Every structure is written in structure tokens, then in C-alpha cells.
Amino acid sequence: VVSPVRRIDWLRVFLRGLFDADFLAANGTAPVAFGWYLDLAKEQVEEVVQSSGEPAVLVGHSAGGWLARALMQREGTDWIKANVRGLVTLGSPHRPPPEGTRDMTQGCLTNLDKAQPGAFYADLLFYVTVAGDAVEGRKAKGNVPILELIQSPSPESTAFNSYSVVCGTGNTTGDGVVPLVAAHLQGARQLTLDGCLHSINVAGTVKPTDRSYLCEGFVDDWLELVAEELRR
């Protein structure tokens, strides 16, 4: 089951945040600004569990990975035991940015990671974090971060700007959007895929690619780890 979330739906985060003093002060929590997403995810998980009779494996791509952690934090241990067998994240920014770098989630990721770091519920479910190592960030001459995140002259300069936002430095490697240093959780089974890109388009372009997490060349690699966990 895939959550029916459109790009425009993410505007709801900021619309809700406008009325939350903590969010405006960069001290927000996911259940407020991202509550609409958590409600949708919870409903879908429970529907799957009811129809299958078994706990579900949550698979979150990009922000969906840390928001799955936020869902479990909100719902608590009893809900997790009844509904969640494991969590798999694909190119998810799990680690908040360092002090001095703005948290683009307005504190939601920072507060989540502070309260429940790493594979926090490892005694209740399995965790698999998957990251791509494909693009080394490189600052372009005359770099204008906001403009280049929209349409960059190269994947490397887009990566530089995106990595800078996520982890505070652009001169690192990752999947072209999320840096490798932020994509794994301590205590999880960690898989780094050489050459794997964040999305079905090359970052900073509209050029399609067959080198992302759900493409044939990579999907079996992380599915095998999931299968191993399910056999335990």
C-alpha cells in the first residue's frame, strides 16, 4: 500500500505550523505540523494489518522514513506491538543538522531524535536503513543555493546545497539529496548502495534515471535484508 501523498500536500505542514508557536520558534513536534500525514499513515497501516492479520513492515522513502519514527513515537508501545513488524527507510534524513544549521523541519526532526534516537524500538521491531553513495557534493561557481535547489547546473552542485541543509556541510557524499552521514540509524541494519540515487530523476534535473532505491538494479538488495529479518 502506498500513501497517496501529492507534493502540494506538504504545504499543509506550513499551514499548520503558522498557528503553532513552537513550530515558528524552530522547536516544533511532528504530531502538530505533520499530524495530517501521521493520521493518514496510521489509518493505512491499521487497514493493512486488519486485512492481513499480521503486523506490517513500514517502508519510508526520504522524509517518510523519519516520519514513520514520529508515528511510532506518537502512537506508543502497545500500538507498535499490534501493528508494526519492522521499519525500512530509503534515503531518509534521520539525523538532525548540527547546532548552528537551521533544521528545515522547524525542530520536528531534532526533537524526535532527541527523544527517541537510533533504533529506539529495536526490542519490538527490526530496523533496516538504506542509503545511496552516488554523488559527491561540489559547490558551483556563483552558487545561489535557493535557485540551484530548484534547477541546478549539475547534480554535484544540487547535492552540495541539499547536503548543506541536511548535515551542515556540502562537501560530502550521498544519494544526491540526502548525505550518507545522515541516512543511517544507530542500531539498525545498515545497507549502503554504491551508485544509488535519491529519486527517479537525477537531482537538479528532469532527467530520468534507473538508479534509484525502487529500481530493478537496487530493490532486490534491500529486499533481501528485509526477507532475512522476516525469517528470524
Q: Which of 185, 181, 215, 184 is nearest to 198 (CA)?
A: 215
**pLDDT, average across residues 46-53:** 97
Distance CA 18, CA 24 (A): 7
Torsion, CA 29, CA 41, CA 177, CA 200, rounded to 10? -160
Residues 6+ apart with CB under 8 A from 146: none
pLDDT band with cut points at 50, 70 and 90 for residue 170: very high
Q: Which of 193, 194, 195, 199 is nearest to 177 (CA)?
A: 199
Residue 4: its pLDDT value, please?
83
- Report, in this order, helix, strand and coil percent for the chain, each rounded to 5: 45, 15, 40
- 207 compared with 196, residue with greater pLDDT: 196
**pLDDT, average across residues 48-73:** 98
pTM, 2 dp: 0.92
Residue 190: its pLDDT value, please?
99
Domain ranges for the chain, please list them. Answer: 7-131+175-194+215-231
Residue 202: its pLDDT value, please?
78
**pLDDT, average across residues 147-173:** 83
What is the pLDDT of the chain when averaged over all its residues? 93
pLDDT greater than 60 at residue 147 = no
CB distance 43 to 72 below 8 Å: no
Cα 182 to Cα 14, 185, 217, 223, 228: the distances in Å are: 24, 8, 23, 21, 24
pLDDT greater than 60 at residue 8 = yes
CB distance 105 to 16 below 8 Å: no
**pLDDT, average across residues 63-82:** 99
pLDDT band with cut points at 50, 70 and 90 for residue 5: confident
**pLDDT, average across residues 121-126:** 98
Instruction: Copy the grid coordinates of residue 137.
Output: 557534493
Per-residue pLDDT tens digits for 11-25 = 999 999 999 999 999
Neighbours of 188 (CB within 10 A): 19
Burial bucket for residue 2 (CB in 10 Å: 0-12, 13-18, 19+): exposed
pLDDT greater than 70 at residue 30 = yes
Q: Which of 134, 132, 5 is nearest to 67 (CA)?
A: 5
H helices of the chain, where?
A: 11-17, 21-24, 30-33, 35-52, 63-75, 77-83, 108-115, 145-150, 155-167, 216-231
Residue 184: its pLDDT value, please?
99
Top CATH class, 7-131+175-194+215-231: alpha beta
Torsion, CA 48, CA 52, CA 57, CA 58, rounded to 10? 0
Residue 152: its pLDDT value, please?
61
Residue 136: its pLDDT value, please?
96
